[in-house]
Amino acid sequence: MFKSRVTDLFSIQYPIIQGGMVWCSGWKLASAVSNAGGLGIIGAGSMQVGLLEEHIIKCKQATNFPFAVNLPLLYENIELQIEVLIKQNVKIVFTSAGNPAKYCKFLKDAGIKVVHVVASLKFALKAQDAGCDAIVVEGFEAGGHNGRDETTTLCLLQLLKNQISIPIIAAGGIGTGDAILACKILGAEGVQLGSLFAASEESSAHENFKHLIYESKEGDTDLVLKKLNPVRLLKNSFYNEIKQLEIDGATTETLKSKLGKGRAKKGIYEGDLVEGEIEIGQIAAIINQSKSVSEIMKQLVDEYNEAYKKHFC
């Protein structure tokens, strides 16, 4: 019932992929997801090369199942990171935030499966042309950095229908097994979940961050910093300041200066709920307690099976 080109591509049991989120997705989270039958991803975005290598080595020790590394293509030390991936024999790489054409062939020639994250049909077609093995399409409701078109997951999947031949992985706003089945109906052969795993026990996010997620309600996130790089944040004190600046028409320079450096680390990893960025998706509103990765995976699979039986048996 879960078999698809995505489960075949990665040799995994369930087509459930954990987003490679900065400050959340170390070896502990990635290996837990892979051990539970999904695909865990180490988020290289917040790691220096040495730390990335350490996480890959620990992940290999913690699981015998496939896992991946997410590589934002905009970082300066990208070629050093790729060297580490090849040296450590990483088999699957998810690229994001940049042009896949530059590295796709190189990675594939090294025997690596390459998946690129996009937020529009236009870039989905480019990723396909670049030779990617699959794409993640991420809608407006997703947490963290986000596309400029603001197209939602539901609309994106309909836009991609009959336009894309490589496997599609849906992301943004997915928090239940029902939603996984719904995305399948809409043509996605797999899903990528961020928020649920960011708030899980195995996430390396700070406990303060996780507890704020448990307490959050609908409408508590918003997409801001559109003049720089759109990002979905939970509405905390830092958010309120940014929002007010935006309402008042602040320039790019003012916003850049207010943002400064390291806000995501401060919020997510250090648990500074006042001054940090709290990156999370709209679906955070349904998360209300601490769960382990295996509990989350079991719930998703159970809900999926239940929805399937309810509607089709």
Q: Which residue, 114 or 170, has its beta carbon nearer to a copy of itself?
A: 170
Tell me which DSSP letter residue 74 carries: T
Tell me which DSSP letter residue 36 carries: T
Cβ 62 to a copy of itself, closest distance in Å?
Answer: 31
Q: Report d(CA 234, CA 240) in Å as an integer.
A: 10
Q: Which residue, 20 or 143, has its beta carbon nearer to a copy of itself?
A: 143
Q: At what angle do helices 237-247 and 252-259 cross, to 10 degrees?
A: 170
- CA dihedral (97, 15, 303, 301) in degrees, to 10, reads -120
Of 24-32, 42-50, 196-204, 222-230, the segment contacting a copy of itself by CB under 8 A is 222-230
CB 54 within 8 A of CB 65: no
What is the bridge-based pairing of β-strands 134-138 and 40-43?
Answer: unpaired
Of 27-35, 61-69, 157-165, 259-267, the segment contacting a copy of itself by CB under 8 A is 157-165
H helical segments located in 216-269: 237-247, 252-259, 263-264
Instruction: Give me the phi and psi of 34, to 5 degrees please.
Output: -65, -40
Number of residues that bind a copy of itself (CB under 8 A): 48
Contact string (CB under 8 A) for a copy of itself, positions 95-134, x = contact: -------------------------xxx------------
Near a copy of itself by CB under 8 A: residue from 178, 201, 270, 275: 178
Short-list 303, 302, 297, 299, CA closest to 35: 297
Question: 254 to 283, contacts with a copy of itself by CB under 8 A?
Answer: 282-283
Short-list 152, 145, 163, CA closest to 280: 145
Q: Which are the contacts of 282, defined by CB distance < 8 A and separation ≥ 6?
A: 141, 143, 173, 218, 221, 232
Residue 168 binds a copy of itself (CB under 8 A): no
Reduced to 3 states (helix: H, G, I; strand: E, B; else coil), residue 11 is: coil
Cβ 301 to a copy of itself, closest distance in Å?
Answer: 15
Helix (H) or strand (E) holding 211, with range, is helix 207-215
Of 51-59, 77-85, 143-151, 197-205, the segment contacting a copy of itself by CB under 8 A is 143-151
Short-list 88, 90, 113, CA closest to 100: 113
Residue 236 binds a copy of itself (CB under 8 A): no
Cβ 304 to a copy of itself, closest distance in Å?
Answer: 10
Cβ 123 to a copy of itself, closest distance in Å?
Answer: 10
Cβ 230 to a copy of itself, closest distance in Å?
Answer: 12
Residue type at 89? N
Residue 176 binds a copy of itself (CB under 8 A): yes
Instruction: Give me the phi and psi of 146, to 5 degrees please.
Output: -150, 160
Near a copy of itself by CB under 8 A: residue from 86, 97, 125, 159: 159
Q: Which residue, 247 or 274, has its beta carbon nearer to a copy of itself?
A: 247
Cβ 108 to a copy of itself, closest distance in Å?
Answer: 28
Q: Report d(CA 300, CA 141) in Å as an integer.
A: 19
Q: Which residue, 63 or 153, has its beta carbon nearer to a copy of itself?
A: 153
Near a copy of itself by CB under 8 A: residue from 83, 218, 241, 302: 218
Binding site for a copy of itself (CB under 8 A): 120-122, 139-141, 148-155, 158-159, 161, 172-176, 178-179, 181-187, 218-219, 222-223, 227, 247-250, 282-283, 285-286, 307-308, 311-312
